[in-house]
Amino acid sequence: MSKIFKPIVLLAIALMIVQVTFSQNETLLKGVYFYESLAVIKGKVQNQALSHEVIIKTSPTFPLAKNSESHLLVTNLKTDGGTLGKAIFTFADDKLQYIEAHGNAIEVLLKSKMDSMQPFMHYKALFKQRIFADVEKDVVWMLTDESAHPNLFAWENPYLNEAITEESGNDWSAKIPDFIRMGDGLEKLRPILEAESSFVHEMELDGSDPNAQLQLDCYGIRYAGFPRKIEARFGDDKLNVVWILTGKGEEDRLRKKLIEEYGTPVFVTEAWEIFDDWTVGLRKDKPEILVMTPELGQFYKKEYFKQ
């Protein structure tokens, strides 16, 4: 009995693992799965679309792309639920990581799901499935875990705009923008950050960080060649910490540019590289750039990094 039971249990576990893996790769488009290659996705959708175009970026800036970045733009894409006006598929190192759909997108992709979607700022979201929708704009985003981390639902792929031109190679800097003035007050910085952002969301912190009580989530601030989510944290009404969300694929590019701007890191571990006298950090275990006031940088140097 036990000899029979054990293989059955192992088979059930294996099937569960396959099912979970499958669900993580699923998209709202039947037969289209995340992490598939450009050639595979193109083969699946080109005959269902009025037109299609492949865009290859010679120098990647998409945060998840290490060596290559490409996009597949389709118009009038026929699906089981109806026809989408246009959709774009973004590939990092030839793996599908991001889908954005416009035009009839809510009706076609989310009609049966709207009641179960949760409000999130001005979006509707299915968080476990990493699906976001801007109902007013009629836009739907489908993300992988990797593209959800830098909050790419707040990004609109510029290649959906026919007037877009190729950006110049690596002609960008990792210098922290001048308008991010560490130590300045909330009242002074709020209008500046709002002017530099697509939109800003204010959040009171839960107290787990003793150095900050309020956070401004600033979406669309351009840094290192890409529009980012920047988390500006205020302690005692002063900006003392900024997190800039990045992607693992761009780590080497960011390191090179940080060294160009700030010199050799003063401290390096598997998880961190610290620059500029403990005020700028490249985080590697969770892709982010950390910016600190000099005072807080010295505090973390001693208390967290034990230096």
**Per-residue confidence (pLDDT) for residue 257, from 0 to 100:** 97
Question: Are 212 and 233 spatial neighbours (Cβ–Cβ below 8 Å)?
Answer: yes
Cα-trace Rg, the chain? 22
pLDDT digits (tens), the chain, 307 positions = 444 334 444 444 443 443 444 367 999 999 999 999 999 999 999 999 999 999 999 899 999 999 999 999 999 999 999 999 999 999 999 999 999 999 999 999 999 999 999 999 999 999 999 999 999 999 999 999 999 999 999 999 999 986 555 554 567 999 999 999 999 999 999 999 999 999 999 999 988 888 889 999 999 999 999 999 999 999 999 999 999 999 999 999 999 999 999 999 999 999 999 999 999 999 999 999 999 999 999 999 999 999 9
Burial 275-284 (b: 16+ CB within 10 A, else e): bbebbbbbbb
Write out the two tokens for 262.
């700030």
Predicted TM-score of the model (pTM)? 0.89
Write out the two tokens for 168.
């110049």
**Per-residue confidence (pLDDT) for residue 218, from 0 to 100:** 98
CA pair distance 217, 195, nearest whole angstrom: 13
**Per-residue confidence (pLDDT) for residue 94, from 0 to 100:** 98
Beta strands in 121-256 (DSSP E): 123-126, 131-134, 139-143, 199-204, 214-223, 226-235, 238-245
CA pair distance 228, 163, nearest whole angstrom: 22
**Per-residue confidence (pLDDT) for residue 286, from 0 to 100:** 97
- 4 contact partners, CB below 8 Å, separation of at least 6: none
CA angle 40, 286, 220 (to 5 degrees): 75
Beta strands in 18-94 (DSSP E): 51-57, 69-79, 82-92
